[in-house]
Amino acid sequence: MIPQINFNTILPEIILSAVALVLLLLEVLISPDRRDRVSTIGTLAVVGAMVAIGSLWRTEVVADGMGGLIWSDSFGFFFRAVLLTVLLIVTLLSVEYVGRKNIPAGEFFALLFFATVGGMFMAVSRDLIIFYVGLELLSISSYVLAGLLRSDDRSLEAALKYFLNGAMASAILLFGFSIFYGLTGTTDLMEMATGLSGTGMSWLAVAGLVMVTAGLGFKLAVVPFHLWVPDTYEGAPTPVSAFLSVGSKGAALAGILRIFYIALDPLSKDWMGLLAVLALLTMTLGNVAALHQKNLKRMLAYSSIAQAGYILAGVATGTSLGLSAAMFYILAYTFMNSGAFAVVITLANQGEGETVDNLAGLARREPVLAFMMFLFIISLLGIPPLAGFWAKLFVLRATVEAGFVYLAVAVVLNSAVSVGYYYGIIKAMYVTPPAEEKEHRGIMAGVATQIGIALAAAGVLVLGIGPETFLSWVNSANFISRMVP
Amino acid sequence: MLSAATDMSVPMEYFFIVSTILFGLGLFGALRRNNAIMILMSIELMLNAVNINLVGFARHGGAGDPVTGQIFAIFVMAVAAAEVSVGLAILITLARRRKGIDINEIDLMKG
């Protein structure tokens, strides 16, 4: 019997994949001086995919698409919308960067699109096989993206480290999957939950749990699987670092939530403690290591590890409230972190270095850009009334209500530690005089970069001013509150 | 037909023991080797351990369709091939720019 296949449910993915293939072709056909058209087509495609998501949204199909292999529910829509937002911002930020660094635009955008499509499939997959293929599509495209600056040794090193760590992590993840397949005889997430609740706890299930946690934790940059993060973020082309820090992490979070909250729900007593310890380690180590970084990209890498710890604290609660908190956090994090990377990209486009010292006197040279960076940094820090504040507040509320008081205390203490390096950035921009007096050049960022930064800033502000709207959106996409009355 | 063969064939535990040993060897190699090609080969060992698991469980798994595990194994093989080709491409690009692929010497970024 041929299953009913409704291609409408994966329309955004189809659009992106098709355009990615066209872009690869254009790379060969278009003359080199018209390469900017590639970026234009790419940007339009992302907008098209977002329209497709928007048009599908209201249908509220909880039924399964693609013969029961994917879920077309509002949770999937939420994460696909987040990933498309990331893609839109990163695409806008890349337009100028790709031209200046002589990266082949067709390849770059095609790989970026494939990576996003992989992440989107991770968010909707109902079957471990689909999940695995989505994960690898995201990973393999990311390995190449990290190494696209072929004449830069650091970029190649970043790609190699990412690849070796990533391939190992996916092998470990797969071994975990194979154990759960052996225990339950199925790869369907719902049936797996039923199977696991029947067999009960065993050492085999614990081994599988640890392996799945390691494999998915790698993508989310959870300590102790974070070793690739600083090197890869530092060496990779900066828009790629931005994509890895928000897009890749968003997809990984979607996967973790689906797999842990649905398939491994019968083991929740075991994974709650495990994830709580990992969250504690992740936020602490990330913040402490960020304190003595000079390179901005490296500092943002450690800061993103710390942020992953806060997100994981929400996940570790195992409650509906924690799920919503993690989802709201990734939404806020998408805007603030890609914004911070956007400022680094703008500086790189102007031929400036990537260290904190290069920020000296930025407020005088480029007041608007400096203010944007200020906005993103204090949002990452969690100061009201910006997006990051509400994100942290919801995580705190979820952890306290679930009885993880020590996690809440850790989040607060870690936020205090993070002042150390976040303030260093603000101080460099506003207080420290520039090493040599540079002329006032006004805003040097290209139009696309400006739009990208403006989008990120708008997100941070809107989420900060009207969090209720977005929280109710997140709650409507929360699958626990729908399943359990 | 399949169940009749199952009764006489190798028990599941043996498959799992072999795959665990293979996976352990691969993990050890991936963590201890310095040559990037050797790490790549160790990762392949780990993936093959996964395949033994999947096919073994598919043959002996009680509930569910046994074909699922075999299909999963084919997917793993196909994706692993794609992964390795990308990995080798990165390695070749790197090897052209420097002598050798000892990962201890690829250390521009630290801290």
Residue A359 per-residue DSSP state: G
Are the beta carbons of B40 and A128 separated by less than 8 Å? Answer: no
DSSP conformation class of B35: B
Q: CA A312, CA A395: separation in Å to the nearest integer?
A: 9
pLDDT digits (tens, 9 = 90+) for A292-315: 899 999 999 999 999 999 999 999
pLDDT of residue A485: 35
HSE-CB for A238 with a 13 A CA cutoff = 31
Shortest distance between the Cα of B94 and any Cα of chain A, in A, equals 6
Q: Is B56 helix (H, G, I), strand (E, B) or coil?
A: helix
Contact A136 B82 (CB under 8 A): yes
How far does chain B reach from its first CA to its final CA, in angstroms? 60
Cβ atoms of A299 and A266 closer than 8 Å: no
Higher pLDDT, B92 or B3: B92
Burial zone of A61 (CB within 10 Å; 0-12 exposed, 13-18 middle, 19+ buried): middle
Q: Is A160 on the interface with B (CB under 8 A)?
A: yes
Contacts of A164 in chain B (CB under 8 A): 30, 36, 39-40, 43, 87, 103
Give the mutation candidate from A163, A186, A356 for the B interface (greatest B CB count, under 10 A): A163
Alpha-carbon gap: B95 to the closest alpha carbon of chain A (Å): 10
- Chain A CA closest to residue B109: A231
The pLDDT value recorded for residue A438 is 62
What integer pLDDT is reported at residue A242 of this predicted model? 95
| Cβ within 8 Å, pair A174-B43 | no
Is A209:B85 a contact under the CB 8 Å cutoff? no
Q: Do B50 and A154 touch (CB under 8 A)?
A: no
List CB contacts of B103: < 8 A, sequence separation 6 or more. Answer: A160, A164, B34, B35, B36, B39
Return the closest-CA partner of residue B110 out of A280, A360, A161, A348: A161
- B109 with A159: Cβ contact below 8 A: no
Nearest by CB to A163, from B26, B50, B90: name it: B90
Residue in B19, B47, B83 closest to A140 by CB = B83
What does the pLDDT read at residue A65? 62
A235–B75 C-beta distance less than 8 A? no
Give the tokens for residue A75.
Answer: 């949770």
Contact A184 B40 (CB under 8 A): no
Nearest to A325 by CA among A415, A252, A392, A401: A392
Q: What's residue B1's pLDDT?
A: 37
- Which member of B43, B86, B89 has the closest CB to residue A168? B43
Cα angle vertex A441, ends A437, A443, to 5°? 130
Which pLDDT score, from 0 to 100, does residue A169 have?
95
pLDDT at A479: 80
Count of beta carbons in the 10 Å neighbourhood of residue B12: 16
The predicted pLDDT at position A27 comes to 83
From chain A, pick out residues whose CB is under 8 angstroms from the CB of B109: 154, 157-158, 230-231, 234-235, 298
Burial label, A462 (beta-carbon count in 10 A; 0-12, 13-18, 19+): middle
Average the pLDDT over each of A224-228, A234-238, B20-24, B59-63 and give the range with the smallest value: B59-63
Render A106-146 in DSSP notation, one character per residue: HHHHHHHHHHHHHHHHHHHB-BHHHHHHHHHHHHHHHHHHH
Q: Is the pLDDT of residue B4 over 50?
A: no
- Residue A403 backbone class (left: φ over 0; alpha: ψ -120 to 50; beta: rest): left
Token couple for A12: 């955004």
Cβ–Cβ below 8 Å for A184 and B64: yes
Which of B12, B41, B83 to mutate: most A Cβ within 10 Å?
B83
Q: What is the mean pLDDT of chain A?
A: 88
Does the structure show a pLDDT above 60 at B7? Answer: no
Q: Which of B39, B69, B82 sits opposite A164 (nearest CB)?
A: B39
In angstroms, the separation between the Cα of residue A236 and the nearest Cα of chain B is 12
Closest CA to A78 of A213, A245, A257: A257
Among the partner-chain residues B56, B71, B108, the one whose CB lies closest to the CB of A153 is B108
Of the partner residues A154, A168, A184, the one whose CB lies closest to the CB of residue B30: A168
pLDDT at A348: 86
Specify the pLDDT at position A475. Answer: 86
**8-state DSSP, A227:** T
Give the sign of the dihedral formed by CA B33, CA B34, CA B38, CA B44: positive
Give me the residues of chain A with pLDDT under 70, please. 1-5, 58-67, 199-200, 435-444, 481-485
| H-helix segments, A30-73 | 36-57
pLDDT digits (tens, 9 = 90+) for A437-459: 666 565 667 888 999 999 999 99
Query: Are B94 and A160 inside 8 Å of each other by CB?
Result: yes
Q: Does the beta carbon of A417 lie under 8 angstroms from any beta carbon of chain B?
A: no
- Measured over the CA atoms of residue A268, residue A282, residue A128 and residue B53, the dihedral's sign is negative
Task: Give the closest-approach CA distance of A422 to chain B in angstroms.
Answer: 18
**What pLDDT was estimated at residue A399?**
95
A207 shares contact with chain B (CB less than 8 Å) = no
Cβ-based neighbour number of residue B81 at 10 Å: 11
Question: Which candidate from A163, A182, A234 shows the least CB-CB separation from B61?
Answer: A182
DSSP class of residue A33 equals G
pLDDT for A393: 94
Dist. CA B93–CA A152, nearest whole Å: 11
Of B36, B54, B62, the CB nearest to A178: B54
The reply to whether omega before A385 is within 30° of 0 (cis) is yes
Amino acid at A159: A
Contact B71 A129 (CB under 8 A): yes
Residues 6+ apart with CB under 8 A from A214: A169, A172, A173, A176, A225
Say whether residue A231 is in contact with chain B using an 8 A CB cutoff: yes
Interface confidence, given as ipTM, is 0.91
User: Under 8 Å CB-to-CB from A281, ≥6 apart: which residues?
Assistant: A223, A224, A309
Q: What number is the average pLDDT over the span B47-70?
A: 84
Residue A59: predicted pLDDT = 54
pLDDT at A356: 87
